[in-house]
């Protein structure tokens, strides 16, 4: 019985972190998309976008597959090199699809259990 208490505390702690992480990752994903839209509308510069993303990436790396985050980093890096809107849209769609994958991974839907 004396082992149950520390194990239960750790379990509750982990479940809490899981829920908080889920909300945090989803919020950050939406924020990233918003920031890219701002970049498209020339509201922020590419260097500002990259620095914001770096900060988000470091925190999200605790809970999200690093491969997905690296892909987004590469796509954000490509944004400044694209000049016309069509090319920017392709990169934006790529980022959006990776973010969808991250969100799907964090999803509490039944299909994510099997």
Partner 1 sequence: MQEKLQIITAVIYMISTVMRTIILYITVTLAIRLMGKRQIGDMQPNELVITLLISEIAAIPLQDTEQPMFIGLAAIFVLVFLEIIISILAMKSFSMRRLLNGQSVVIIKNGVIDQHAMRNVRMTVIDLIEQLRGQDVFNIEDVAFAVLEVNGNLSVLLKKDAQTVSVKDINLTLQDESLPLPVISDGKIIYESLRSLEVTPQNLNKILKHKCASHKDIFLMTLDREGNHTIIKKGGSII
What secondary structure does DSSP assign to 79-97, as a single string? Answer: HTT--SHHHHHHHHHHHHH
Contacting range for partner 1; rule: CB under 8 A; set: 28-36, 56-64, 84-92, 95-103: 56-64
Q: Does 109 bind partner 1 (CB under 8 A)?
A: no
For position 108 contacting partner 1 by CB under 8 A, the verdict is no
What is the Cα gyration radius of the chain? 17
14 makes contact with partner 1 (CB under 8 A) = yes
Q: What is the contact surface with partner 1 in residues (CB under 8 A)?
A: 1, 3-4, 6-8, 10-11, 14, 17-18, 21, 61-67, 70
């Amino acid at each position: 019985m004396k082992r149950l208490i520390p194990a239960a505390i750790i379990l509750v702690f982990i479940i809490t972190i899981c829920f908080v992480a889920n909300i945090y990752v989803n919020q950050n994903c939406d924020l990233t998309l918003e920031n890219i839209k701002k970049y498209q509308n020339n509201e922020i510069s590419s260097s500002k976008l990259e620095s914001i993303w770096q900060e988000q990436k470091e925190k999200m790396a605790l809970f999200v597959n690093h491969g997905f985050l690296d892909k987004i980093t590469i796509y954000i890096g490509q944004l400044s090199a694209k000049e016309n809107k069509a090319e920017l849209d392709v990169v934006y769609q790529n980022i959006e699809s990776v973010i969808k994958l991250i969100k799907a991974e964090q999803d509490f839907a039944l299909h994510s259990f099997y």
